[in-house]
Amino acid sequence: MDEKELLETEEIELELFLQAVYLKYGYDFKSYTKKHIKRRIKRRVKLDNASSISKIIEKLLYSEEYFKNIILKDLSINTTEMFRYPEFFKMIREQVIPVLRTYPSVKIWHAGVSTGEEIFSMAILLKEEGLLNKANIYATDFNIDVLEVAKKGIYSIEKVKKWTKNYQEAGGKKSFAEYYTAKYDSVIFDSSLIKNVTFLEHNLVEDGSFIEANLIICRNVFIYFNNELQGKVLKLFLDSLIKGGFLGIGSKESIKYNESKEKFNEISFKNRIYQKKYLE
């Protein structure tokens, strides 16, 4: 088989893989970018010493445990850190918090929360701004394993130096060390920070709206979706926001080419923060 035939066969296998996952387990990854899916699956083929993607398909069809414990984790996107892109959080503090402060209670949805660093970042910010006690935060991801990590709030101590710098650049008002306890090679964040956090399994591709939020944050997830799915998820967020509610997405993401863009005002293009219009 020459290189061209090999590539054509891999494309067919990739389509069969996505169809198998959808028909067997109900997870629809067909709208994720092919580049992302192909890279992750070829990595799995190599790790399993499999001869082809077809062998991976066979394994996932006959082993639910293999799918849930291996394949689903392979496809999950878990790149995150405390106060990632500090200017984003600084802008939330300066431009969004003053508006949230006018409400008697606040609902915040973090979609695609991964291992929870972003949740603790927001909780710290809210605490410093006096809003934590009146905020209800919903942390969602389709990977239940990363949600369990998030609930524990235990992370490697090696990351703290960078996180401390991020916190300071995000306008932190205290010593970052006040929010965690160091133990051996780990740091344990104060559990009181997430007392008002509800962790939920939620798939942006399949599941619908469940909240009327004042603020939705979904960063660095859109980049793995094709244009059609981006439009679908943006519509979900639009339906889930109150009028005047805010949306924050990743620095490399955009709502520019989505129909729903007309329903938002741009608060900060650089930091990708938008506000749902009061009048539609």
Instruction: Render pLDDT for 81-108 as a digit per residue (tens, 0 to 9).
Output: 999 999 999 999 999 999 999 999 999 9
In this prediction, residue 209 carries a pLDDT of 93
Instruction: Render pLDDT for 125-143 as a digit per residue (tens, 0 to 9).
Output: 999 999 999 999 999 998 8
CA distance 54 to 64: 16
In this prediction, residue 239 carries a pLDDT of 94
Instruction: Render pLDDT for 5-18 as a digit per residue (tens, 0 to 9).
Output: 878 888 999 999 99
In this prediction, residue 280 carries a pLDDT of 58
In this prediction, residue 35 carries a pLDDT of 86
Torsion of CA 25, 70, 43, 36, to 10 degrees: 50
CA distance 151 to 197: 9
pTM, two decimals, is 0.83
CA distance 215 to 276: 10
Least-confidence region, from 22-36, 120-134, 186-200, 226-240: 22-36
Give 215's Cβ-side CA count (13 Å radius): 27
In this prediction, residue 278 carries a pLDDT of 86
Going from the C-alpha of 65 to that of each of 13, 70, 144, the distances in angstroms are 21, 8, 14
In this prediction, residue 1 carries a pLDDT of 63
DSSP string, 20-39: HHHHHH----TTB-HHHHHH
* CB-based burial label for 270 (10 Å; 0-12, 13-18, 19+): exposed
Going from the C-alpha of 10 to that of each of 34, 122, 254, the distances in angstroms are 12, 42, 31
167-182: b (≥16 Cβ within 10 Å) or e: beebbbeeebeebbee
CA distance 106 to 129: 13
